[in-house]
Amino acid sequence: MADIVLNVEVREKTGTGGARDTRRAGLVPGVLYGGDQDPVAISVKANEFRKALHTGKLLGHLVTLKHGSDTQSVIAKAVDVNPVTDEPTHFDLYRVAADQTIKIGVAVHFAHQDESPGLKRGGTLNVVLHEVLVSCHANQIPDEIVVDLTGLEIGASIRVSDLKLPKGVEAALDADATVATVANASVMADADEAADAAIAEEAAAESTAEAEAEKAGEE
């Protein structure tokens, strides 16, 4: 069952102007996609949408959409926020059936860092995948994937095949893909320096090319 219920209204006005008017009325504009039906412009009261968003169980989770006496299951796929105020400005919902198999990214969290000998000795946790694509029924989407770092030494790698996923949930990417490593701090520093050097070299090359182009233009 979905934990979040969104009470929506159908929007008459669409486009940039319609979305602006919707926000001025204290609503968040959105669009409902998917299934064999046409997209529908909708809106939700801003205070209700903020509350749902702040639970952490809206984006990427099964949500119950309610319009009058009608309800349906949807997945909240995207939420746009104002970069200054952090207020939600737009959202996208996709129609799904609760028992429909979907692919969706789930956030990865790392537990027991203080129990990793490698990290205790000054190693660095190098996170490669902050989320993992999984395949499961829409009503079985996990809130998170937890990686236990207990006992990991410097040089250890956590791969997709090492993840403990709930029953009914399968990884939808290469089992050998690296999720994270416990790296030596000096190795990470060298990697950062190499990246900085590459950026500096690219910038210098662009500057030289621009200078040559200007010189050629003057001639």
Mean pLDDT along residues 38-49: 93
Which tens digits make up the pLDDT trace of 114-162? 999 999 999 999 999 999 999 999 888 988 999 999 999 999 999 999 9
Residue 195 pLDDT class (50, 70, 90 cuts): low
- SS3 readout for 8-23: EEECCCCHHHHHHHHH
Query: CA 90, CA 78: separation in Å to the nearest integer?
Result: 8
pLDDT in tens, 3-31: 789 999 999 888 888 889 999 999 999 99
Q: What is the DSSP letter of 6?
A: E
For residue 205, the SS3 value is helix
**What pLDDT is attached to residue 167?**
93
The predicted pLDDT at position 59 comes to 85
Just give the CATH number of 102-183: 2.170.120.20
Residue 100, pLDDT > 50, answer yes
pLDDT at 50: 93
Specify whether domain 4-96 bears CATH 3.40.50.150.
no
**β-strands 88-95, 70-81 pairing:** antiparallel
pLDDT averaged over every residue in the chain = 85
DSSP letter string, 98-118: TT-EEEEEEEEEEE-GGG-HH
Instruction: Tell me the per-residue pLDDT of 59-89, one tens digit each, with 9 for 90 and over.
Output: 888 899 998 888 989 998 889 999 999 999 9
Q: What is the pLDDT of residue 213?
A: 46
Tell me which residue has tokens 């169980």: 57
